[in-house]
Structure 1
Amino acid sequence: MGNQELPQLDPVIHAQARLRVTVALAGLCADEQITFPRLQQLLDMTPGNLSTHLRKLEDAGYVEITKAYEHRTPVTLVRLTPRGRAAFEEYTRALHRLLEVPGAGQ
């Protein structure tokens, strides 16, 4: 492969479940949020599993979780932060570069 170095993939995003969460959130508009139950339903994840992965993404500054009330009912809203969107865009660029490396797909 010579001097060409393989790009590094962000380990926070790279875990399969967190990648799925990030992809789902990246599909929203930059200022759009999704409710926790809707995200859970969309990804077919248990509440505990989704919470664990959201915590990792939140610790990295990639997602923002807001607790609010809607008609006196508590609601948890999730959105991708600008930092998270930039990290996801860099992740996809790195993945494309990785796939373009001669011999990497063999």
Structure 2
Amino acid sequence: MFEPLDPILHSQLRLAVVSLLMSVEEAEFTYIKEKTKATAGNLSVQVNKLKDAGYITVEKSFKDNYPLTTCKITQAGVEAFEKYLNALRSYIKPE
């Protein structure tokens, strides 16, 4: 039986962001942008969708008078990611 896939994580860019954040404690927006090769505008929209879903937290501050945006995965985000991976497995190896 096929498990439903989380529509929030089913977007390629949002999935890439969450995957990156699973492997680090936190990441700066510029790092995520560089790794995903996304435009700043598109990444900003997708980060906000993840934040609104409660999957990540976004902290805005300043570093050397420059704006700094830092993203961090939440416990809900970790659980959603693990559930998404398990759902994907049901498509790879259907019973």
TM-score relative to the length of structure 2: 0.92
| Structure of higher RCO (CA pairs closer than 8 Å, 6+ residues apart) | 2
Match status 1:12 vs 2:19: no
Structure 1 runs (4+) greater than 6 angstroms displaced: none
RMSD: 1.2
State, as a whole percentage, how many aligned pairs show the same letter.
Answer: 35
Q: In the alignment, what sits opposite 1:40?
A: 33
CA distance in 2, matches of 1:52, 1:20: 14
TM-score relative to the length of structure 1: 0.83
Q: Which runs of 5+ in 1 are unaligned?
A: none
Q: Output one character per residue of 1:59-89: Cα deviation in whole Å (capped at 9) or x when no partner.
A: 1000100011223332110111110011001
Q: Please say which structure displays the higher CA radius of gyration.
A: 1
Find the residue that maps to 1:74 and give its secondary structure: strand
Q: Which runs of 5+ in 2 are unaligned?
A: none
